[in-house]
Amino acid sequence: MHVLITRPEPDAAALRAQLEALGYQVTVEPLLKIEHLPIANDVLAGIAGLIVTSRNGLRALAASAALDAARELPLIAVGPGTAQLARELGFERIIAGSSTADALVPVIIETCREVYGTLAHLRGEDVASDLRGALGARGIEVRKVVGSRPMPAPPWRRRPGSFWPPAGSMPSS
């Protein structure tokens, strides 16, 4: 079986390796590329904890001067993959959710019994869930920190051995 992966790099490479280890033929053709945005050194001033709902946000943080200050904070990660990347970046106080931002809300509420103050939400430019609104309704102040944005990937190109059959080899209708 041939599997087409359309997620952005570098996450596509890890998924590709997992699928190839299971015996699948895999082609990676990302639909998006991720642009990491600069994160100012002082963005975490006055922050009591960090919510991370994007590995790409963590990658942007890793390239910023704010990383050292961020490592001192407790970190609430959206899921195990994001928590693992945080550990690799030197974070020590990590709480991992179950992989969705909506499921993270009760985890954050529970954590705020021990962490008092404004939280920073390190996220992508486009998000599916309004954590700031959900937590604000419960009296938890959240500051948005955008670390990445999706951009269209370069157009697909046919390559030898790619997912797409050679031009002219498909029957016409």
Whether the pLDDT of residue 83 is over 90: the answer is yes
Same structural domain, 24 and 44: no
Which of 40, 51, 61, 39 shows the shortest CA–CA distance to 118?
51
Q: Is-contact 93 75, C-beta < 8 A? A: yes
Same structural domain, 24 and 97: no
The alpha helices in 42-154, defined as continuous H runs, are 55-62, 67-71, 80-88, 101-111, 131-136
Find the angle CA(103)-CA(34)-CA(54) to the nearest 5 degrees.
Answer: 20
Same structural domain, 123 and 66: yes
Q: How far is residue 143's CA from residue 159's CA, in Å, rounded to a whole number? A: 44
What CATH number has the domain bearing residue 142? 3.40.50.10090
Same structural domain, 6 and 85: no
> For residue 57, how far is the Cα from the chain centroid?
6
Same structural domain, 24 and 45: no
Does residue 103 fall inside a structural domain? yes
Whether the pLDDT of residue 139 is over 70: the answer is yes
The strand pairing partners of 75, in sequence order, are 50, 94
Same structural domain, 52 and 67: yes
Q: Is-contact 143 44, C-beta < 8 A? A: no
- pLDDT for the residue 116: 83
- pLDDT for the residue 157: 61
> Tokens 């993959």 map to which residue?
81
Same structural domain, 69 and 114: yes
Whether the pLDDT of residue 167 is over 70: the answer is no
Does residue 170 fall inside a structural domain? no
Tally of structural domains, the chain? 2
Q: How far is residue 123's CA from residue 101's CA, in Å, rounded to a whole number? A: 10
Instruction: State pLDDT tens for residues 90-125.
Output: 999 999 999 899 999 999 999 888 788 999 999 999
Same structural domain, 119 and 136: yes
pTM: 0.84
* Percentage above 70 pLDDT, the chain: 90
Same structural domain, 21 and 41: no
Instruction: State pLDDT tens for residues 152-164.
Output: 988 766 555 555 5
Same structural domain, 25 and 39: no
- pLDDT for the residue 84: 97
